[in-house]
Structure 1
Amino acid sequence: MTEAAREGVARIATVFNYLLDNRHPQERGPYSIPEIAAGTGVSESTLKGMKAGGNDNPKINTLIAVAKFFDVPPDVWVTDKPLAEVLVDRDLHNAMRDAGIEAIALRSKDLNATNRKLVADMITVARKSQGLEPEEPSSP
């Protein structure tokens, strides 16, 4: 196996293991290989190979199906961007789909720095009033 192929296999294993450990509903633990297989149509043996770094040539349809299962962009497997940055971008995109959030962002765009801080402070107060953390935890 070439050095580039080894790097690709390692990237797939790293990404897949990160997704397993971190991309699941808060109220439950990580998805199992059988759950992912059932949700994607990808065989358990293929998924186990991806997890262990033993699958050196997964099909593009496999990578797309697994990415879709975890709600991440398919290029997560091959991008040069740090994984945390890719996932933050995706989570931000998903949050912005909420029309209320998008409207707040669009209405805030022309505010000066002082007024943007005022809006951010008001959001912190609103979050606290609901018993939420002052800020959303960021992805690693």
Structure 2
Amino acid sequence: MAQSAAGRTLAGKIEQLFDVVRRPDGAAFTNEEVAHACREATGETFSTTYLWQLRTGKRDNPTKRHLEALAQFFQVPPAYFFDDEQSEKLAEELALLGALRDAGVRAIALRAVTLSPDGQAVIRDMVDAIARREGDRTSGRND
């Protein structure tokens, strides 16, 4: 199970942004692309190596301006880095965005949007039942 945003390190929060927020072609941003954009935004030094150190946890005390530049680049509020409650909410939204990159998940979600609340409840129940069944199968239980 994924660790909550509140319990994650700064490096984990930054890594989640790289994992979920993508270029229009679906490819992940590189450290160089992000560092360059952050240099442009702050006018301060923001090297590729420094960003790599933040992502890997080798450095964990960036300036507020650096975090604001990262937030601006990834289009999240700066509170993602500072406020555990806000970070948790955003982590859930980012996880949803990541799941929606899968074409099959996206197609199901788009179809479900047009259903009535009762229809959506039926779909949720079906997904829960299938997930339990598949979980039982992978854990070796065959009821």
> Is 2:128 the counterpart of 1:124?
no
> Is 2:48 the counterpart of 1:58?
no
Give 1:25 deviation, angstroms: 3.6
Give 1:81 deviation, angstroms: 2.0
User: d(CA) in 1 for partners of 2:60 and 2:13?
Assistant: 14
Aligned residue identity for 2:31 = I
Give 1:84 deviation, angstroms: 5.4
Q: Deviations over 1:24-64 (max 9, x none)?
A: 14532110000101111121121011110011311111000
User: d(CA) in 2 for partners of 1:63 and 1:82?
Assistant: 15
2:15 maps to 17
User: d(CA) in 2 for partners of 1:63 and 1:81?
Assistant: 17
- Scaled by the length of structure 1, the TM-score of the pair is 0.53
User: d(CA) in 2 for partners of 1:21 and 1:43?
Assistant: 20
Specify which of 45, 52, 63 is matched with residue 49 of structure 2: 45
Identity of aligned residues (%): 25
Gaps of 5+ in 2: 1-5, 40-45, 95-110, 116-143
User: d(CA) in 1 for partners of 2:57 and 2:9?
Assistant: 9
Quick one: higher RCO (CA 8 Å, sep 6+), 1 or 2? 2
Q: CA-atom RMSD, angstroms?
A: 3.0
Gaps of 5+ in 1: 1-7, 90-120, 126-140
1:29 maps to 27
User: d(CA) in 2 for partners of 1:82 and 1:73?
Assistant: 9
1:81 maps to 85
Q: Deviations over 1:86-110 (max 9, x none)?
A: 2539xxxxxxxxxxxxxxxxxxxxx
Check whether the contact 1:64–1:74 (CA below 8 A) recurs between aligned residues: yes
- Secondary structure of the residue aligned to 1:38 is helix
Aligned residue identity for 1:69 = F
- Scaled by the length of structure 2, the TM-score of the pair is 0.52
